[in-house]
A = this chain, B = another copy of it.
Amino acid sequence: MVMTNGYEQNENEKVLDILNLNQLEADAKKIIPTGGFGYIVSGSEDEWTLQANRKAFQHRQIVPKALSNIEDPQTDTTVFGLDLKTPIMMAPAAAQGLAHAKGEVDTAKGVAKAGGLMAQSTYSSTSIADTAAGGEGAPQFFQLYMSKDWDFNRSLLDEAKKAGVKAIILTVDATVGGYREADIINHFQFPIPMANLIKFSEGDGEGKGISEIYASAAQKIGPDDVKRIIDYTDLPVIVKGIESPEDALYAIGAGAAGIYVSNHGGRQLNGGPASFDVLESVTKAVNHQVPVIFDSGVRRGSDVFKAIALGADLVGIGRPAIYGLALGGADGVFSVFEHLNNELKIVMQLAGTKTIDDIKHAELLHIQY
Protein backbone atom coordinates (compact mmCIF):
# COMPACT_ATOMS: atom_id res chain seq x y z
CA MET A 1 0.00 0.00 0.00
CA VAL A 2 1.31 3.43 -0.94
CA MET A 3 -0.09 6.67 0.45
CA THR A 4 -0.15 9.44 -2.17
CA ASN A 5 -1.48 12.74 -0.88
CA GLY A 6 -3.54 10.84 1.65
CA TYR A 7 -4.94 8.45 -0.99
CA GLU A 8 -4.18 4.77 -0.48
CA GLN A 9 -2.88 3.14 -3.64
CA ASN A 10 -2.59 -0.62 -3.50
CA GLU A 11 0.26 -2.52 -5.12
CA ASN A 12 -1.19 -5.99 -5.79
CA GLU A 13 0.63 -7.99 -8.43
CA LYS A 14 -0.94 -11.36 -9.15
CA VAL A 15 -2.73 -13.47 -11.69
CA LEU A 16 -6.45 -13.52 -10.88
CA ASP A 17 -8.79 -16.45 -10.69
CA ILE A 18 -11.68 -14.88 -12.57
CA LEU A 19 -15.16 -16.35 -12.66
CA ASN A 20 -16.55 -13.52 -14.73
CA LEU A 21 -15.93 -9.81 -15.21
CA ASN A 22 -19.03 -8.70 -13.32
CA GLN A 23 -17.73 -10.34 -10.19
CA LEU A 24 -14.64 -8.13 -10.19
CA GLU A 25 -16.50 -4.97 -9.25
CA ALA A 26 -17.36 -6.08 -5.72
CA ASP A 27 -13.81 -7.22 -5.06
CA ALA A 28 -12.30 -4.02 -6.43
CA LYS A 29 -14.65 -1.93 -4.33
CA LYS A 30 -13.04 -3.35 -1.23
CA ILE A 31 -9.56 -2.14 -2.10
CA ILE A 32 -10.06 1.10 -4.03
CA PRO A 33 -10.77 4.09 -1.76
CA THR A 34 -14.38 5.32 -1.89
CA GLY A 35 -13.77 8.47 -3.92
CA GLY A 36 -11.65 6.75 -6.50
CA PHE A 37 -14.01 3.82 -6.79
CA GLY A 38 -17.00 6.14 -7.14
CA TYR A 39 -15.22 8.01 -9.92
CA ILE A 40 -14.50 4.77 -11.77
CA VAL A 41 -17.79 2.92 -11.34
CA SER A 42 -20.33 5.66 -11.76
CA GLY A 43 -22.16 7.18 -14.69
CA SER A 44 -23.96 10.46 -15.08
CA GLU A 45 -27.26 11.55 -13.50
CA ASP A 46 -29.40 8.56 -12.51
CA GLU A 47 -27.25 6.25 -14.65
CA TRP A 48 -30.08 5.27 -16.96
CA THR A 49 -27.76 5.20 -19.97
CA LEU A 50 -25.08 3.33 -18.02
CA GLN A 51 -27.60 0.62 -17.23
CA ALA A 52 -28.99 0.67 -20.75
CA ASN A 53 -25.45 -0.05 -21.98
CA ARG A 54 -25.68 -3.47 -20.31
CA LYS A 55 -29.30 -4.21 -21.15
CA ALA A 56 -28.78 -3.40 -24.80
CA PHE A 57 -26.78 -6.56 -25.44
CA GLN A 58 -29.95 -8.50 -24.66
CA HIS A 59 -31.67 -6.76 -27.58
CA ARG A 60 -29.76 -8.96 -29.99
CA GLN A 61 -29.14 -12.71 -29.83
CA ILE A 62 -26.42 -14.84 -31.33
CA VAL A 63 -27.60 -17.72 -33.51
CA PRO A 64 -25.97 -20.97 -32.42
CA LYS A 65 -24.48 -22.67 -35.47
CA ALA A 66 -23.54 -26.28 -34.95
CA LEU A 67 -22.67 -27.58 -38.40
CA SER A 68 -20.13 -24.99 -39.46
CA ASN A 69 -17.26 -27.44 -39.61
CA ILE A 70 -14.94 -25.32 -37.54
CA GLU A 71 -12.75 -25.89 -34.53
CA ASP A 72 -10.15 -24.04 -32.52
CA PRO A 73 -11.41 -20.51 -33.20
CA GLN A 74 -8.80 -17.81 -33.48
CA THR A 75 -9.18 -14.33 -32.08
CA ASP A 76 -6.21 -12.73 -33.77
CA THR A 77 -7.02 -9.82 -36.02
CA THR A 78 -5.31 -7.12 -38.00
CA VAL A 79 -6.63 -3.59 -37.60
CA PHE A 80 -4.97 -0.30 -38.45
CA GLY A 81 -2.13 -2.39 -39.84
CA LEU A 82 -1.47 -3.90 -36.41
CA ASP A 83 -1.44 -7.62 -35.72
CA LEU A 84 -3.30 -8.29 -32.49
CA LYS A 85 -4.04 -11.52 -30.64
CA THR A 86 -7.47 -10.33 -29.63
CA PRO A 87 -10.05 -7.82 -30.83
CA ILE A 88 -10.45 -6.76 -27.20
CA MET A 89 -8.61 -3.55 -26.47
CA MET A 90 -8.03 -1.37 -23.45
CA ALA A 91 -10.22 1.70 -23.71
CA PRO A 92 -8.53 4.97 -22.84
CA ALA A 93 -9.57 5.43 -19.20
CA ALA A 94 -8.32 8.27 -17.04
CA ALA A 95 -6.39 8.27 -13.80
CA GLN A 96 -5.68 4.59 -13.31
CA GLY A 97 -3.46 5.50 -10.40
CA LEU A 98 -6.76 5.63 -8.49
CA ALA A 99 -6.83 1.85 -8.76
CA HIS A 100 -3.19 0.91 -8.46
CA ALA A 101 0.14 2.54 -7.59
CA LYS A 102 1.65 1.56 -10.93
CA GLY A 103 -1.31 2.93 -12.87
CA GLU A 104 -1.22 2.80 -16.65
CA VAL A 105 2.28 1.35 -16.73
CA ASP A 106 0.93 -1.88 -15.28
CA THR A 107 -2.16 -1.76 -17.47
CA ALA A 108 0.04 -1.46 -20.54
CA LYS A 109 2.11 -4.38 -19.38
CA GLY A 110 -0.93 -6.58 -18.82
CA VAL A 111 -2.52 -5.67 -22.12
CA ALA A 112 0.74 -6.34 -23.94
CA LYS A 113 0.99 -9.76 -22.33
CA ALA A 114 -2.53 -10.51 -23.58
CA GLY A 115 -1.59 -9.42 -27.09
CA GLY A 116 -4.15 -6.64 -27.02
CA LEU A 117 -4.07 -2.99 -27.87
CA MET A 118 -3.47 -0.41 -25.15
CA ALA A 119 -4.94 3.07 -25.29
CA GLN A 120 -3.55 5.75 -23.00
CA SER A 121 -5.66 8.63 -21.79
CA THR A 122 -4.58 12.27 -21.80
CA TYR A 123 -5.53 12.14 -18.15
CA SER A 124 -3.34 9.14 -17.39
CA SER A 125 -1.67 8.97 -14.03
CA THR A 126 1.55 7.99 -15.74
CA SER A 127 3.22 9.83 -18.60
CA ILE A 128 2.97 8.96 -22.25
CA ALA A 129 6.56 7.78 -22.36
CA ASP A 130 6.38 5.74 -19.17
CA THR A 131 3.14 4.07 -20.21
CA ALA A 132 4.53 3.35 -23.65
CA ALA A 133 7.59 1.77 -22.08
CA GLY A 134 5.32 -0.40 -19.93
CA GLY A 135 3.92 -2.06 -23.02
CA GLU A 136 7.36 -3.31 -24.03
CA GLY A 137 6.93 -2.78 -27.73
CA ALA A 138 3.27 -3.83 -27.91
CA PRO A 139 1.13 -1.37 -29.88
CA GLN A 140 -0.47 1.55 -28.07
CA PHE A 141 -2.75 4.40 -29.04
CA PHE A 142 -2.81 7.78 -27.35
CA GLN A 143 -6.12 9.40 -26.52
CA LEU A 144 -6.26 13.17 -26.76
CA TYR A 145 -8.69 15.43 -25.00
CA MET A 146 -8.24 18.49 -27.15
CA SER A 147 -7.09 21.44 -25.06
CA LYS A 148 -7.99 25.03 -25.70
CA ASP A 149 -4.22 25.50 -25.67
CA TRP A 150 -2.92 24.36 -29.02
CA ASP A 151 0.67 24.41 -27.87
CA PHE A 152 -0.34 21.81 -25.39
CA ASN A 153 -2.14 19.73 -28.01
CA ARG A 154 0.90 19.84 -30.26
CA SER A 155 3.18 18.99 -27.39
CA LEU A 156 1.14 15.90 -26.50
CA LEU A 157 0.92 14.79 -30.12
CA ASP A 158 4.66 15.19 -30.50
CA GLU A 159 5.30 13.29 -27.31
CA ALA A 160 2.96 10.49 -28.36
CA LYS A 161 4.68 10.23 -31.71
CA LYS A 162 8.05 10.17 -30.00
CA ALA A 163 6.88 7.46 -27.60
CA GLY A 164 6.00 5.31 -30.59
CA VAL A 165 2.23 5.15 -30.22
CA LYS A 166 0.56 3.96 -33.40
CA ALA A 167 -2.47 6.22 -33.54
CA ILE A 168 -4.25 9.10 -31.89
CA ILE A 169 -7.73 8.67 -30.43
CA LEU A 170 -9.33 12.09 -30.40
CA THR A 171 -12.16 12.16 -27.87
CA VAL A 172 -14.89 14.58 -28.87
CA ASP A 173 -17.80 13.70 -26.56
CA ALA A 174 -16.48 15.34 -23.44
CA THR A 175 -16.57 19.02 -24.16
CA VAL A 176 -18.22 19.24 -20.77
CA GLY A 177 -18.23 16.64 -18.03
CA GLY A 178 -21.38 14.57 -17.59
CA TYR A 179 -23.30 15.26 -14.40
CA ARG A 180 -21.81 12.54 -12.20
CA GLU A 181 -23.55 12.46 -8.89
CA ALA A 182 -21.23 9.98 -7.21
CA ASP A 183 -18.36 12.44 -7.53
CA ILE A 184 -20.50 15.16 -6.00
CA ILE A 185 -21.62 12.94 -3.14
CA ASN A 186 -18.00 11.94 -2.51
CA HIS A 187 -16.67 15.49 -2.96
CA PHE A 188 -14.26 13.80 -5.27
CA GLN A 189 -11.13 15.60 -6.37
CA PHE A 190 -8.25 13.88 -8.07
CA PRO A 191 -5.88 13.02 -5.24
CA ILE A 192 -3.00 12.11 -7.50
CA PRO A 193 -1.46 14.06 -10.35
CA MET A 194 -2.06 13.38 -14.02
CA ALA A 195 1.39 13.15 -15.52
CA ASN A 196 0.54 14.65 -18.90
CA LEU A 197 -1.07 17.74 -17.39
CA ILE A 198 2.16 19.11 -15.99
CA LYS A 199 2.46 21.22 -19.12
CA PHE A 200 -1.04 22.62 -18.67
CA SER A 201 -0.87 26.12 -17.33
CA GLU A 202 -3.56 25.15 -14.83
CA GLY A 203 -1.46 22.46 -13.17
CA ASP A 204 -1.39 18.71 -13.06
CA GLY A 205 -4.98 17.98 -12.13
CA GLU A 206 -4.26 16.98 -8.57
CA GLY A 207 -6.84 18.35 -6.17
CA LYS A 208 -9.29 19.18 -8.95
CA GLY A 209 -12.74 17.89 -9.71
CA ILE A 210 -13.53 16.36 -13.06
CA SER A 211 -15.45 19.44 -14.18
CA GLU A 212 -12.43 21.61 -13.54
CA ILE A 213 -10.27 19.22 -15.52
CA TYR A 214 -12.67 19.28 -18.44
CA ALA A 215 -12.78 23.07 -18.26
CA SER A 216 -9.24 23.09 -19.61
CA ALA A 217 -10.35 21.07 -22.58
CA ALA A 218 -11.86 22.61 -25.66
CA GLN A 219 -15.60 22.92 -25.37
CA LYS A 220 -16.17 23.77 -28.97
CA ILE A 221 -15.25 20.96 -31.32
CA GLY A 222 -16.25 20.67 -34.94
CA PRO A 223 -14.98 18.92 -38.05
CA ASP A 224 -12.41 21.68 -38.53
CA ASP A 225 -10.83 20.92 -35.17
CA VAL A 226 -10.61 17.26 -36.07
CA LYS A 227 -9.01 18.24 -39.33
CA ARG A 228 -6.53 20.49 -37.57
CA ILE A 229 -5.37 17.63 -35.39
CA ILE A 230 -5.15 15.35 -38.41
CA ASP A 231 -3.18 17.91 -40.33
CA TYR A 232 -0.71 18.40 -37.52
CA THR A 233 0.17 14.78 -36.78
CA ASP A 234 1.20 12.14 -39.24
CA LEU A 235 -0.27 9.47 -37.00
CA PRO A 236 -3.68 8.11 -37.92
CA VAL A 237 -6.44 9.85 -35.97
CA ILE A 238 -9.46 7.94 -34.69
CA VAL A 239 -12.41 10.02 -33.52
CA LYS A 240 -13.96 8.75 -30.27
CA GLY A 241 -17.38 9.45 -28.84
CA ILE A 242 -19.35 9.01 -32.04
CA GLU A 243 -22.93 7.86 -31.53
CA SER A 244 -24.59 8.93 -34.76
CA PRO A 245 -24.16 8.44 -38.50
CA GLU A 246 -23.91 12.21 -38.88
CA ASP A 247 -20.92 12.57 -36.58
CA ALA A 248 -19.27 9.55 -38.20
CA LEU A 249 -19.54 11.17 -41.62
CA TYR A 250 -18.25 14.49 -40.29
CA ALA A 251 -15.24 12.71 -38.85
CA ILE A 252 -14.51 10.73 -41.99
CA GLY A 253 -14.96 13.86 -44.03
CA ALA A 254 -12.33 15.52 -41.86
CA GLY A 255 -9.95 12.66 -42.56
CA ALA A 256 -10.44 10.39 -39.59
CA ALA A 257 -8.61 7.07 -39.86
CA GLY A 258 -11.14 5.35 -37.62
CA ILE A 259 -14.43 5.82 -35.82
CA TYR A 260 -14.77 5.02 -32.14
CA VAL A 261 -18.40 4.40 -31.10
CA SER A 262 -18.77 5.04 -27.39
CA ASN A 263 -20.96 6.89 -24.96
CA HIS A 264 -18.07 7.16 -22.56
CA GLY A 265 -19.34 4.26 -20.52
CA GLY A 266 -22.53 6.13 -19.64
CA ARG A 267 -20.51 8.90 -17.99
CA GLN A 268 -21.48 11.75 -20.30
CA LEU A 269 -24.94 12.26 -21.78
CA ASN A 270 -27.52 10.49 -19.67
CA GLY A 271 -30.81 9.97 -21.47
CA GLY A 272 -28.99 8.97 -24.61
CA PRO A 273 -29.24 5.47 -26.07
CA ALA A 274 -27.07 2.52 -25.15
CA SER A 275 -23.93 2.62 -27.19
CA PHE A 276 -24.58 -0.90 -28.52
CA ASP A 277 -27.99 0.18 -29.78
CA VAL A 278 -26.53 2.83 -32.08
CA LEU A 279 -23.51 0.81 -33.22
CA GLU A 280 -25.15 -0.63 -36.31
CA SER A 281 -26.40 2.75 -37.51
CA VAL A 282 -22.83 4.03 -37.35
CA THR A 283 -21.14 1.03 -38.94
CA LYS A 284 -23.64 1.15 -41.77
CA ALA A 285 -22.85 4.82 -42.35
CA VAL A 286 -19.11 4.17 -42.15
CA ASN A 287 -19.58 1.33 -44.62
CA HIS A 288 -16.08 -0.13 -44.21
CA GLN A 289 -14.32 3.11 -45.20
CA VAL A 290 -12.33 3.03 -41.95
CA PRO A 291 -12.18 0.63 -38.97
CA VAL A 292 -14.69 1.03 -36.16
CA ILE A 293 -13.91 0.66 -32.47
CA PHE A 294 -16.71 0.09 -29.96
CA ASP A 295 -16.94 0.35 -26.20
CA SER A 296 -19.44 0.91 -23.34
CA GLY A 297 -20.85 -1.89 -21.29
CA VAL A 298 -18.81 -4.86 -22.50
CA ARG A 299 -18.52 -7.59 -19.84
CA ARG A 300 -18.96 -10.91 -21.64
CA GLY A 301 -17.46 -12.74 -24.56
CA SER A 302 -20.92 -12.72 -26.07
CA ASP A 303 -20.93 -8.90 -25.86
CA VAL A 304 -17.68 -8.76 -27.80
CA PHE A 305 -19.09 -11.15 -30.38
CA LYS A 306 -22.28 -9.12 -30.79
CA ALA A 307 -20.41 -5.84 -31.21
CA ILE A 308 -18.19 -7.35 -33.89
CA ALA A 309 -21.21 -8.90 -35.60
CA LEU A 310 -22.70 -5.39 -35.84
CA GLY A 311 -19.55 -4.07 -37.48
CA ALA A 312 -16.99 -3.26 -34.80
CA ASP A 313 -13.36 -4.11 -35.57
CA LEU A 314 -12.09 -3.64 -32.04
CA VAL A 315 -14.02 -3.78 -28.78
CA GLY A 316 -12.82 -1.82 -25.78
CA ILE A 317 -13.20 -2.53 -22.11
CA GLY A 318 -12.59 -0.01 -19.36
CA ARG A 319 -13.84 -0.61 -15.84
CA PRO A 320 -13.30 -4.40 -15.77
CA ALA A 321 -9.66 -3.95 -16.75
CA ILE A 322 -9.20 -1.27 -14.10
CA TYR A 323 -10.68 -3.63 -11.51
CA GLY A 324 -8.23 -6.26 -12.71
CA LEU A 325 -5.46 -3.67 -12.32
CA ALA A 326 -6.57 -2.89 -8.79
CA LEU A 327 -6.74 -6.55 -7.83
CA GLY A 328 -3.63 -7.81 -9.56
CA GLY A 329 -1.61 -5.11 -11.31
CA ALA A 330 -0.28 -6.07 -14.72
CA ASP A 331 -1.11 -9.72 -14.17
CA GLY A 332 -4.61 -8.75 -13.08
CA VAL A 333 -5.16 -6.84 -16.30
CA PHE A 334 -3.77 -9.77 -18.24
CA SER A 335 -6.15 -12.12 -16.41
CA VAL A 336 -9.12 -9.95 -17.35
CA PHE A 337 -8.17 -9.90 -21.01
CA GLU A 338 -7.40 -13.61 -21.05
CA HIS A 339 -10.67 -14.50 -19.36
CA LEU A 340 -12.79 -12.38 -21.65
CA ASN A 341 -10.97 -13.68 -24.70
CA ASN A 342 -11.61 -17.25 -23.54
CA GLU A 343 -15.29 -16.53 -23.18
CA LEU A 344 -15.20 -15.08 -26.68
CA LYS A 345 -13.57 -18.25 -28.04
CA ILE A 346 -16.30 -20.45 -26.56
CA VAL A 347 -18.95 -18.24 -28.11
CA MET A 348 -17.13 -18.28 -31.46
CA GLN A 349 -17.01 -22.07 -31.48
CA LEU A 350 -20.69 -22.42 -30.56
CA ALA A 351 -21.70 -19.81 -33.12
CA GLY A 352 -19.72 -21.56 -35.81
CA THR A 353 -17.23 -18.76 -36.40
CA LYS A 354 -13.58 -19.62 -36.69
CA THR A 355 -12.22 -16.12 -37.19
CA ILE A 356 -12.96 -12.56 -36.25
CA ASP A 357 -13.86 -12.03 -39.86
CA ASP A 358 -16.42 -14.86 -39.62
CA ILE A 359 -18.06 -13.01 -36.73
CA LYS A 360 -18.52 -10.00 -38.97
CA HIS A 361 -20.72 -12.13 -41.19
CA ALA A 362 -22.68 -13.71 -38.37
CA GLU A 363 -26.36 -12.97 -38.10
CA LEU A 364 -27.87 -11.63 -34.88
CA LEU A 365 -31.54 -12.05 -34.04
CA HIS A 366 -33.66 -9.22 -32.70
CA ILE A 367 -36.19 -10.90 -30.40
CA GLN A 368 -37.72 -8.84 -27.62
CA TYR A 369 -37.48 -10.27 -24.09
* Interface residues in chain A, defined as those with a beta carbon under 8 Å from any beta carbon in chain B: 19-20, 22, 45-46, 48, 52, 55-59, 61-72, 172-173, 175-179, 181, 184-185, 219-226, 239, 241-244, 246-247, 250-251, 263, 268-274, 277-278, 300-303, 305-306, 342-343, 346-347, 349-351, 365, 367-369
The 8 Å CB contact of A269, one of B20, B223, B350, is: B350
Q: Which residue of B lies closest to A70 (CB)?
A: B220
A299-B265 Cα distance, complex, nearest whole Å: 23
- Which B residues touch A45, using CB under 8 A? 20, 300, 302, 343
Is there contact, CB below 8 Å, between B349 and A66?
no
Is there contact, CB below 8 Å, between A269 and B58?
no
Since A65-B246, A175-B349, A274-B369 are in contact, a sample of 17 more A-B pairs with Cβ atoms closer than 8 Å, ordered by chain A residue number, is A55-B369, A64-B241, A64-B244, A64-B268, A65-B243, A67-B222, A67-B223, A69-B220, A69-B224, A175-B350, A176-B349, A219-B349, A269-B347, A271-B300, A271-B303, A272-B350, A273-B367
Q: Which 4 A-B pairs have the closest CB atoms?
A: A69-B222, A271-B302, A71-B219, A71-B220
Is there contact, CB below 8 Å, between A222 and B176?
no
- Which B residues touch A20, using CB under 8 A? 45-46, 181
Is there contact, CB below 8 Å, between A273 and B61?
yes
Is there contact, CB below 8 Å, between B63 and A243?
yes
Contact A272/B63 with A20-B46, A184-B19, A278-B365 known, Cβ cut-off 8 Å: yes
Is there contact, CB below 8 Å, between A244 and B184?
no
A59-B365 Cα distance, complex, nearest whole Å: 15
Provide 10 A-B residue pairs closer than 8 Å at the C-beta atoms, listed in order of the A residue: A63-B278, A64-B269, A64-B272, A66-B172, A66-B173, A66-B243, A67-B239, A72-B219, A176-B346, A269-B351
A48-B223 Cα distance, complex, nearest whole Å: 42
A179-B344 Cα distance, complex, nearest whole Å: 10
Is there contact, CB below 8 Å, between A62 and B223?
no
Is there contact, CB below 8 Å, between B220 and A19?
no
A246-B305 Cα distance, complex, nearest whole Å: 20
| Least Cβ–Cβ distance between A336 and chain B, in angstroms | 15
Q: Which residue of B lies closest to A303 (CB)?
A: B271
Is there contact, CB below 8 Å, between A62 and B272?
yes
| Least Cβ–Cβ distance between A28 and chain B, in angstroms | 19
A184-B342 Cα distance, complex, nearest whole Å: 14
The 8 Å CB contact of A48, one of B58, B263, B270, is: B58
| Least Cβ–Cβ distance between A345 and chain B, in angstroms | 8
